[in-house]
Structure 1
Amino acid sequence: MTEKQMSFFDKYLTVWVAICMVVGVALGKAAPQAVASLRGLEFGQGSQINIPIAVLIWLMVYPMMLKVDFGSVVNVGKNPKGLFVTLFVNWIVKPFSMAFFAWLFFRLLFSPWIAPSEADQYIAGSIILAAAPCTAMVFVWSYLTDGDPGYTLVQVSVNDLLMLVFFAPIVKFLVSGASNLIVPFGVLFTSVAVFIVVPLAAGVITRNVLMKSHGPDWFDNTFLPKLHPVAIGALLATLVLIFAFQADNITSRLFHVLLIAVPITIQVYFNSSLAYGLMKWLKLPHNVAAPGALIGASNFFELAVAVAITIFGPESGAALACVVGVLVEVPVMLSVCSICNRTRHWFPRLASN
């Protein structure tokens, strides 16, 4: 079987993020006044919603939402056990396990190097990161493990529907419980509306219109590939601005970046192993188990970055924690894909339908 490959941009995403980090920090140090002016462009005084970053994040999220077909949810009855495992890990285990790992490391194990106020920020950012199940990159991970694309679409679609309801209250509850920070529910609800509801609605409308006018083949193979570089470019531009806004924090807390990566990496392996193990226990086919494990472990880091910026500001420790999640995401998830591929023989040779 021919080995499947990620696109050039996706394969080296961690490299691009690292380059953006260097470029952003350099800009923040070389042109502090210009960066301060960009940081001051907000939707209303004190809203924390930076206009340039908001536009870039919307450009980043919109192409991902175009892939979501809520009509596929009707197919959930074909293999409900796999979906139940995914939802259990995504919404019951993952946010709470991340809150525990973040509290354990930032509040206790790393306390000699991290001040309590910094720990609060890193805990909040880690929770926000874990509370948003991955949407876009799951399609890449599923492709690399020969996952059932239709079932992957069902998993993503149902998760996006639940995200509209559960994301905001889970973040508020866990951040308030695991740290000394108070999350204003109004701001959190606004961020969900701006960064999920609006692009999701736009994506569904665009998808339905173009599917009817040009057909699914043109939509999937011509239109969507053209937008993918836009999403990646918007992501990288967003990171340049974030790193520029955080230039002083990063240069003074580079060691913290390494510390933040530790609990985030652990929770990825913990949740992917749990989901994969439950799929094996339930004797589900590999093309359902692999994407289920991957969607249970990866994060919708684009949304997480947007929410952290909206609530705590682009120069906050919470935003920094979410950005570290981007650095961790690609190499760690590629290793999970490799494990899934090497253990394919653990699962029965059955079709998902």
Structure 2
Amino acid sequence: MQRLSFLDRFLPVWIGAAMVAGVLLGRFVPGLQRVLDAVKVGEVSLPIALGLLLMMYPVLAKVRYDRLDTVTRDKRTMIASLVLNWLVGPALMFTLAWLLLPDLPEYRTGLIIVGLARCIAMVIIWNDLACGDREAAAVLVALNSVFQVIMFGVLGWFYLQILPGWLGLDTAALDVDAWTIAKSVLIFLGIPLLAGYLSRRVGEKTKGRQWYEAKYLTKVGPIALYGLLFTIVVLFALQGHTITARPLDVARIALPLLVYFAIMWAGSYTLGKAIGLNYSRTTTLAFTAAGNNFELAIAVAIGVFGVTSGQALAGVVGPLIEVPVLVALVYVSLWLRQRWARTDPISR
């Protein structure tokens, strides 16, 4: 922990301050929400889009792309990630939503949508802070992105209409355009991924790997956390009034989310250990499985059900709970790393 930078060491403090600042700005600055949401990239506010791009570029610039083949050859990691993300995660969120919100159909539907939106953005930050495998994170995020385009609408139809009908439960409609999902993936993953790849390729070709990693990356690295904090401020400024006006609803939505994150992260860590993965890849597996693409979930909920809907509120509460929980799990991972390193030299 002592080797972390000042910014990294007190990250929960900065994130908490950013969340509070965003809520206060959205609550007490007249017209701010309208200004921030005036221009959009796809279905996402332009300031949030810029923050996400700034947040993801430095981390993807750190990836050693010449080592990606070592990840794609690791069938255990690839299969475990697909099972956790596309079988276990959506099914677990569906179960928790119905068990804990049986009387609140709008929030229940919103949480199911969150469970279907697998993480392609902030997970890279959490993985990097926890000293996970950057190359593995890049591959698994890309894999999630492809499956997201193909499977989001299909799984939404299954979990919101077909499965509830089989179980004798109420059904809800979800009409999602595949192009909406594809645009989200192309913008928020494709652009920073291409920029990161070109940065490393050009930088190493002109000045060498040592200069690129020792000089260039140390200068652009902090931009990721600044982008993260900026994104959080804008996100909570846009939704601050909704969050503060309905605290009891927020608490009801938060409970299944807390259970979900705990089960997915702990279960993924247990699975990684059981199948013989080292610390870095187990950490990557855990964070890619536990995180969710709340940008897509919010965009879908707003596009299908409206900005004032309960489904949209459930999507907004997602990052409210996910951000502090996954930051806390970063610290848990770093603690586990010290114990793991005693028997796993690769994790040192």
TM-score, length-scaled by structure 2: 0.80
Q: Which moved more, 1:187-196 or 1:255-264?
A: 255-264
1:351 and 1:37 map into 2 onto residues whose CA distance is 49
C-alpha displacement of 1:194: 0.8
C-alpha displacement of 1:248: 2.0
The aligned counterpart of 1:97 is: 88
- SS of 1:298's equivalent in the other structure is helix
Letter in 1 for 2:94: W
Structure 2 unaligned segments of length 5 or more: list them: 161-171
Match runs of 1:70-85 below 5 Å: 70-76=65-71, 80=73, 83-85=74-76
Picking from 119, 143, 149, the partner of 1:168 is 149
1:105 and 1:301 map into 2 onto residues whose CA distance is 15
Cα distance change on mapping 1:97 and 1:214 into 2, 3 Å: same
Letter in 2 for 1:326: V
Cα distance change on mapping 1:351 and 1:266 into 2, 3 Å: same
Letter in 2 for 1:217: Q
C-alpha displacement of 1:74: 3.1
Letter in 2 for 1:332: L
1:350 and 1:42 map into 2 onto residues whose CA distance is 47
2:37 and 2:75 map into 1 onto residues whose CA distance is 42
CA contact (8 A) 1:72 1:153 kept: no
Structure 1 unaligned segments of length 5 or more: list them: 144-151
CA contact (8 A) 2:119 2:288 kept: yes
Letter in 1 for 2:321: V
2:43 and 2:273 map into 1 onto residues whose CA distance is 44
C-alpha displacement of 1:339: 3.5
2:253 and 2:341 map into 1 onto residues whose CA distance is 32
C-alpha displacement of 1:340: 4.8
The aligned counterpart of 1:330 is: 327
Q: Is 1:251 the equivalent of 2:244?
A: yes
Q: Is 1:231 the equivalent of 2:224?
A: yes
2:54 and 2:121 map into 1 onto residues whose CA distance is 18
The aligned counterpart of 1:7 is: 5
Q: Is 1:58 the equivalent of 2:53?
A: yes
Q: Which moved more, 1:171-180 or 1:63-72?
A: 171-180
2:62 and 2:33 map into 1 onto residues whose CA distance is 34
Picking from 134, 140, 151, the partner of 2:129 is 140
Cα distance change on mapping 1:104 and 1:87 into 2, 3 Å: same
2:241 and 2:198 map into 1 onto residues whose CA distance is 42
CA contact (8 A) 2:294 2:319 kept: yes
Letter in 2 for 1:94: N
Q: Is 1:178 the equivalent of 2:159?
A: yes
1:276 and 1:257 map into 2 onto residues whose CA distance is 28
Letter in 1 for 2:80: V
CA contact (8 A) 1:28 1:245 kept: yes
Please list every run of at least 4 consecutive aligned residues from structure 1 whose deviation after the TM superposition is greater than 6 angstroms: 300-303
Letter in 2 for 1:296: L
1:239 and 1:60 map into 2 onto residues whose CA distance is 11
Cα distance change on mapping 1:39 and 1:300 into 2, 3 Å: farther
Match runs of 1:27-42 below 5 Å: 27-42=25-40
C-alpha displacement of 1:309: 4.4
1:215 and 1:320 map into 2 onto residues whose CA distance is 44
Picking from 284, 287, 290, the partner of 1:298 is 287
Give the superposed CA RMSD. Answer: 3.1
TM-score, length-scaled by structure 1: 0.79
Q: Which moved more, 1:127-136 or 1:227-236?
A: 127-136
Picking from 59, 63, 75, the partner of 1:68 is 63
Cα distance change on mapping 1:100 and 1:39 into 2, 3 Å: same
